[in-house]
Amino acid sequence: MLEARNLHKSFGELVATDDVSLEFGQEDGELVFIVGPNGAGKTTFINLLTGFLSPDEGSIVLDGDDITAMSADERVDAGIARSFQVVKVFEEMTVRENLRTVVLTERGKTWSLFSMADGHADVERTVDDLLSKFRLDDAANTVAEELPHGDRKLLDVAMSFGLDPDYLLLDEPTSGVSTREKEYVIETVVEVGREAGVTTVTIEHDMDIVTEYADRVVALHQGAVHGVGPPTMLETDDELRRLLLGVGE
């Protein structure tokens, strides 16, 4: 279980995370969506959990161990992977090379100076598997920077999956993706996540997607937890509706 305990984070006057305590992964493969208006502190929260930022106060606990002081790369080893709102992939590598690099790292093989990068059969199998799961086979030999946006998003998520995480934190995997491709991206994420039993925490602005796929919804507002509950909360909580959609007033 991944827990945030009383997290605080301020940037000068701005309180981005205000006493947030949340738990994820009571059940394997849980799909949690984080919603909230702009500036609610959603990305800051993910940044705190993954070690991109360190909290001013509070702690992060993974399966009973305090990991607040762990570096970002150590947290990845511990099983927490993330993606970024703006796609961050290795732009000059092909899709296959991107995934190979991730899997080599996950298997602890990147200190090998004299083996062939493409000569590890187990790694290549995993890479092929990821390519087909994320429907990137056709783009395998395309250089990342030349990919269409939807595929770039998929590659970004596939790379996070390649780390074989227990917890996957996705920062708007569908942002900037066309409506048609949105479904495709989120469905692939959900499908692969469920199959692998990965607990997924996703920031999402599209309420249709949240309603359709969420097991649980976390709503943030002005850095604090507004509410936690089933997706029906989006319909029943009038104040939340007002915050998110500006309706009901």
Instruction: Indicate which single residue of 31, 53, 76, 207 sits in contact with another protein (rule: CB under 8 A).
Output: 76
Instruction: Indicate which single residue of 10, 85, 94, 105 sits in contact with another protein (rule: CB under 8 A).
Output: 105
Instruction: Name the DSSP class of 58.
Output: E
Instruction: Indicate which single residue of 27, 63, 66, 92 sits in contact with another protein (rule: CB under 8 A).
Output: 92
**Residue 189 contacts residue 200 (beta carbons within 8 Å):** yes
Quick check: 61 binds another protein (CB under 8 A)? no
Quick check: 159 binds another protein (CB under 8 A)? yes
125 sits in the region (left: phi over 0; alpha: psi -120 to 50; else beta) called alpha
Residue 151: CB minimum distance to another protein, A: 17
Task: Write each residue from 4 to 43 as x if it is in contact with another protein (CB under 8 A), else as -, in one continuous string.
Answer: ----------------------------------------
Cβ nearer to another protein, comparing 158 with 220: 158
Going by C-alpha positions, the residue among 51, 52, 53 that lies closest to residue 62 is: 51
Amino acid at 79: G
Q: What are phi and psi of 147, to 5 degrees?
A: -75, 150
Instruction: Name the DSSP class of 20.
Output: E
Cβ nearer to another protein, comparing 155 with 244: 155
**Residue 48 contacts residue 67 (beta carbons within 8 Å):** no
d(CA 79, CA 52): 15
Residues at the site binding another protein, with contacts judged by CB under 8 A: 50, 52, 71-73, 76-77, 81-82, 84, 88-93, 97, 100-102, 104-106, 109-117, 120, 159, 162-163
